[in-house]
Structure 1
């Protein structure tokens, strides 16, 4: 019987490439599962001409947007992330923020210059290589302040209704919107049919419907007061907003004076409300006639009328009991038709 040459421990014949014959198989790179968007964009810049052609042939699922920019687009849910020219971006007609704090934008620009942009802006294509801001106008303004030619953007096609909703939600995590700004945007969404009810809008935004209702109350202010709030949206808000609404219904002219003073003289809400209450009380007091009417009857005394009461104060020389007897007899002779109120 032939002896087996195959026994444990005996080395097998080595592959030909180990002996210098043939070619070693190429090593397979390990997949990098934690590549950031920034790193992906940087890697694409290394071989930009070839990558551009590859991206041009890529079909982005759920998005028909054609994105142009210095850095190539990266696939993202419902759209793409790309570097877009800041000059090709237009502000949104649905921007809820009515005023921008220039100092806060300068601080944001300094932060971006130091650590970079933490969150891409959101835009939508509107044709001819132009895009409309949906969320991130403060970040876009900061880039323009820094002189940056492009900004990392999440590009997504969407209709006006969705653009209005996303414009609101994007601002929730930044410098807080005022209640007037939110109320104005809520009213636009409801008026345009973007949501069918206050409750539905609250659910869509993740906001309690009572807060939505409170913000919408500010839309009941007079047009003159709202014109002031359009440039100074933080003047009225919070739990005192309802008090201003009541004054708007009862004393619109006085309220306009108070809000003007809030703008020009930096009155607080509490000071304005106290002034309103004092002015109304003072004016009402001037309009209301004196509660008591005194008339003196020579030789008898003074007659005072207090509402439905008639009071007679006799002089010292008059016997009140005798006067009462004569007065009673006199009352029996009066023609009632002469004293009935009209």
Structure 2
């Protein structure tokens, strides 16, 4: 019998299928003996000392981002008082599920905080959230006094971008929520094009374009989406946009029913198509006229076609002979259109 090599102290060789796999990086422990302000100052001084001294100063190139260095730096890790944190004015998420926050709080209470918040100092000991509002709300629900957070000094423009990218890895944003944030960034001129914005937030430019299309919806419809952002999105978004351009009133009725009666997007689009077809059919004048000739039958005129339906007592063959003789003798000037 072969001797077992599985005993305490024996060095084990990792299986081939995990060879070369890098272990996950550990979150650094916060330094509680140094203030956040001191840590930020030390970080800036370290960056300045390590930066090369330029021999000449060049003018910034168009579209150059002065925050590229800050964007790659996660900031300093600190324990921040929960009550000193303010919500972000750039939060793209419009709604928060209380049930999901409660589940997240239970997870944090059980296994701890996996991903720290990201905040920025706004003076007088207060901080503004950049990323992690759901985790912050969970800490408040648990009654925690402090929360682990990366503290970063960033501008409003960078805070908008970071708020979007932070949410990408959490509970998914709706396309309407993304569209609102993308539109705000584009209006402020913080990105030169849709492709540039897509590169910045790390998504395909077609997704950014589709989300931005939702901002073309009528104002009344967007007001409903502000409180119900998940009603419209995905592959049906373009269909709703088309209806908004031609049938804004009908679209508002459909979206209202989606909110009040839980219509799906497919059901709403089918209803819209049916309503438009029914209305157009009523507006279209009849293509034919019909007259009844006593003792002979019904004559129906449909465009360039004349149809005669005989009564049961009429011999259709003999009637056709009479009709042929009549047509040969008719004055053609009386039936020629001008």
Q: Same fold (TM over 0.5)?
A: yes
Structure 1 residue matching 2:173: 3-state secondary structure? coil
Would you say the 8 A contact 1:108–1:139 is kept in 2?
A: yes
The equivalent of 2:75 in structure 1 is 79
The equivalent of 1:37 in structure 2 is 28
Give matches, 1:178-197, under 5 Å: 178-197=174-193
Report the alpha carbon displacement of residue 288 of structure 1 after superposing the two structures with TM. 2.4
Structure 1 residue matching 2:179: 3-state secondary structure? helix
Give matches, 1:260-339, under 5 Å: 260-298=256-294, 301-313=297-309, 316=314, 319-334=319-334, 339=337
Structure 1 vs Structure 2 CA RMSD: 2.9
Q: Which moved more, 1:210-219 or 1:279-288?
A: 279-288
Aligned length: 286
Q: Is 2:5 the counterpart of 1:60? A: no
The equivalent of 1:241 in structure 2 is 237
Q: Is 2:111 the counterpart of 1:115? A: yes
The equivalent of 1:4 in structure 2 is none
Would you say the 8 A contact 1:248–1:255 is kept in 2?
A: yes
Report the alpha carbon displacement of residue 280 of structure 1 after superposing the two structures with TM. 2.2
* Residues 161-191 of structure 1: CA deviation (Å, up to 9, x unaligned): 1111110000001111111111111111111
Q: Is 2:129 the counterpart of 1:137? A: no
The equivalent of 2:56 in structure 1 is none
Q: Which moved more, 1:124-133 or 1:192-201?
A: 124-133
Unpaired runs of at least 5, structure 1: 1-33, 65-75
CA distance 1:83–1:328, change in 2 (3 Å) = farther
Larger-Rg structure: 1
Unpaired runs of at least 5, structure 2: 1-24, 48-71
Report the alpha carbon displacement of residue 279 of structure 1 after superposing the two structures with TM. 2.2
* Residues 209-249 of structure 1: CA deviation (Å, up to 9, x unaligned): 11111111211211111111111111111111112222222
The equivalent of 1:204 in structure 2 is 200
Q: Following the alignment from structure 2 to structure 1, what is the Cα–Cα distance between the partners of residues 149 and 308? A: 88
* Residues 102-145 of structure 1: CA deviation (Å, up to 9, x unaligned): 11111111111222211221111222222211111111111111
CA distance 1:286–1:120, change in 2 (3 Å) = same
TM-score by length of 2: 0.76
